[in-house]
A and B are shown apart, each in its own frame.
Chain A
Amino acid sequence: MNRFLRLVSRDLRLALRQGSDATVAVMFFVLCVVLFPFGVGPEANILARIAAGVIWVAALLASLLSLERLFQNDYEDGSLELLTLTSLPLEAVVFAKVLAHWLVTGLPLIVAAPLLALLLNMNPEGFPVLIVTLAVGTPTLSLIGAIGAALTLGARRGGVLLSLLILPLYIPVLIFGAGAIDASLSGFTARPHLLLLCGLLVAALPLAPWAGAAALRQAIE
């Protein structure tokens, strides 16, 4: 446990000192959403109608953007090999890196989302559900993305490959995330969507580190 926290805190420190990864993801998220009013026009009703979907798609892309480098730096400088030689299981290494990554890139998205929802004229009644779906959904995205990041490690143009591999797997999270907000805005209960979203997170929590570790073992050999 101690080693796990050490790894998380090292990754956090690296991310905060480098700064770029954390800010790039949230800046991309904001810019992506801000583009929509320019594209579809300033019609308030249309924007309010598409707000949930737009925010979710942008969050999904922002998460994908930063995931590419999840293991890349450690792989290139030899740290990953050394991490596999510690008594911390590789599954825990993957989980620690995902956790640090989510704290740095996922949390700022959740903070920025209500502001963007306001910009898109979303009904404020939907804000709590928006925050809850992102709080449950973005860790799921990071976990699923970690499998792709591990699988594409060392591949040339890994980023493109990562998108092709991972985006289809993100679809269920997108459907239930945006669906929950739409449901609550149209006066239905968001509960079934949220439960399914939690189900996805609970499934990804053990499976993603396990699959990611298996992929990393391949990459290291």
Chain B
Amino acid sequence: MPLFAATDLTCLRGERLVFQGLSFDVEAGGGLVLLGPNGSGKSSLLRMMAGLLRPFSGGMSWDGAAVSSDPDLHRSRVHYVGHLDAVKPVLSARENLAFWASMGGASDPMGAAMAALERLGVPHIADVPGRYLSAGQKRRLNLARILAAPAPLWLLDEPSVALDRAGIGQLEAAIADHRRGGGIVVVSTHAEIALPGAATLHMDDFAADNLQHDADDQEFEP
């Protein structure tokens, strides 16, 4: 039985139908790659999976139980990385990370933060205040957040933006580790991130009829 599944999801933003009739299912340890042009609803689908956005119709289930029956429980199993890095300029990288680690239930937030920074190859930024970090370092800090506390479902919205080649490699390794431990990863991406054995979901297949492709070059802001 799939661990995480959805049937017939429809997303309505304002008066615009973004996608309809979308279904997926992912086994424990599985991965899902969302592909599609800008505006096709990748971000909206990820936010929906995180419980940040309510589906207009359709529903999702986790381990057979409907997500909508206990949305708070579902949110606590999610690690979501969006477009914004949630880095506080006046806190050091380690303090930023330790806060999120403790909110995620880590017993030793400072230690977990340091270990996560090391895994992403940036232990040297631990004491640097957020305002001095580069875009790529902020992104790594945000990705370190999902390593600092455990959660079974990772939802990564274009995680490779601003990352260098080495950073993408470390991210791929972290994702592989997570999947080996039975976790699920859903990634939306334009760049190449290797997810061996992951299913792909082409958002185009679920585009509503009224969605024209002249909207392609408009960045879709959730």
A205, chain B: closest CB distance, angstroms: 21
Smallest CB gap from B103: residue in A = A86
Smallest CB gap from A2: residue in B = B102
Smallest CB gap from A79: residue in B = B86
Are B91's CB and A77's CB within 8 A? Answer: no
What are the residues of chain A within 8 A of B90 when measuring CB–CB?
14, 17-18
Are A81's CB and B52's CB within 8 A? Answer: yes
Among the stretches B60-68, B73-81, B168-176, the one at the interface with A is: B73-81
Give Cα distance in the complex from A10 to B109, angstroms. Answer: 13
A149, chain B: closest CB distance, angstroms: 19
Q: Which one of B53, B85, B95, B104 lies within 8 Å of A86 (CB-CB)?
A: B104
| A80-108 contact mask (Cβ, 8 Å, vs B): 1 or 0 | 01111111110000000000000000000
| A89-B85 contact, Cβ under 8 Å, with A6-B103, A221-B53 | no
Number of A-B pairs whose CB atoms are under 8 Å? 65
Please provide the chain A residues from 1 to 54 with a CB less than 8 Å away from any CB of chain B in the complex.
2-3, 6-7, 10, 13-14, 17-18
What are the residues of chain A within 8 A of B91 when measuring CB–CB?
10, 13-14, 17
Are B75's CB and A221's CB within 8 A? Answer: no
What are the residues of chain A within 8 A of B88 when measuring CB–CB?
14, 77, 79
Give Cα distance in the complex from A76 to B86, angstroms. Answer: 8
Give Cα distance in the complex from A42 to B102, angstroms. Answer: 55
What are the residues of chain A within 8 A of B100 when measuring CB–CB?
82
Are B82's CB and A78's CB within 8 A? Answer: yes
**Which chain A residues have a beta carbon within 8 Å of chain B's beta carbons?**
2-3, 6-7, 10, 13-14, 17-18, 76-79, 81-89, 220-221
